[in-house]
Amino acid sequence: MSKIILCMHTSLDGFVAGPKGEMDWISHNADMFDFVGKLTDHANTALYGRVTYQMMDSYWPAAGDQPNASKHDIEHSQWYNRVTKVVLSRSMKNEKRERTKFVSDRVQEEITNLKQNANGNILIFGSPSASHTLMAFDLIDDYWLFVNPVLLGVGIPLFAKIKDRMPLHFVETKTFAEVVCLHYERKRA
């Protein structure tokens, strides 16, 4: 069975975006991009919420073709263009796009089926609403949390819809300049 892996930047106080969705506080560098590139090497599916998907889809398909494209832009653009995209969205349920599946109903059943039939891991980059939905159904297997050195005070919380205690197993820590990446796996009985 494939794993669903969440890669999410968070503030030290547990927010993934400011109150208006602002993400200007997120730190990243080439080492972090190379590290995340290793995660994409083992994933053939990207899972997004509608807002993040529309943001990603407006940039990544052609990002690697730009004259000033970085190594990361080229590699991630190539990955984005070849993988299947799964988008949790009620408003886009009738959309038809190449290599993209829109899920609006029976989310738990659809994503469980996806996990059982995917040939590689399923990555979620950002997408707080989709992540909250998957957390509520206990479908996320790995959490890669990139903790940024900032306190936001208010915003969109990382953990919003967890109903019961969810034991995790600590796997490792990576440090990228000022950002600490914490890797936890979901403990299953």
pLDDT in 10s for each residue of the chain, 189 residues: 899 999 999 999 999 999 999 999 999 998 999 999 999 999 999 999 999 999 999 999 999 999 999 999 999 999 999 999 999 998 887 788 889 999 999 999 999 999 999 889 999 998 999 999 999 999 999 999 999 999 999 999 999 878 888 999 999 999 999 999 999 999 987
> Are residues 156 and 126 in contact, defined by beta-carbon separation less than 8 angstroms?
no
Look at residue 18 and tell me if it is in a domain: yes
Minimal CA–CA distance to 1: which of 119, 109, 134? 119
Report the pLDDT value the prediction gives residue 96, as an integer from 0 to 100: 86
Look at residue 88 and tell me if it is in a domain: yes
Look at residue 70 and tell me if it is in a domain: no
Look at residue 65 and tell me if it is in a domain: no
State whether residue 118 is helix, strand or coil: coil
Look at residue 165 and tell me if it is in a domain: yes
Report the pLDDT value the prediction gives residue 52, as an integer from 0 to 100: 93
Count of domains observed in the chain: 1
Report the pLDDT value the prediction gives residue 126, as an integer from 0 to 100: 86
Q: Domain range holding 16?
A: 4-54+80-186
Beta strands across the sheet bearing 100-103: 100-103, 84-88, 43-49, 121-125, 4-11, 142-148, 179-186, 168-176
Distance CA 2, CA 151 (A): 34
> Are residues 140 and 6 in contact, defined by beta-carbon separation less than 8 angstroms?
yes
Look at residue 156 and tell me if it is in a domain: yes
CATH code (residue 141):
3.40.430.10
Look at residue 60 and tell me if it is in a domain: no
Would you say the pTM of this structure is higher than 0.75?
yes
Minimal CA–CA distance to 171: which of 188, 186, 184, 189? 184
Burial readout 1-33 (b: 16 or more C-beta within 10 A, e: otherwise): ebbbbbbbbbbeebbbbbeeeeeebbeeeeebb
Any idea how long the chain is? 189
Residue 38 neighbours by CB distance under 10 Å: 8
Q: Is the Cα dihedral 88, 21, 26, 24 positive or negative?
A: positive
| DSSP 8-state secondary structure symbol assigned to residue 68 | T
Look at residue 62 and tell me if it is in a domain: no
Distance CA 127, CA 49 (A): 5
- Left if phi > 0, otherwise alpha if psi is -120 to 50, otherwise beta: which for 50? alpha
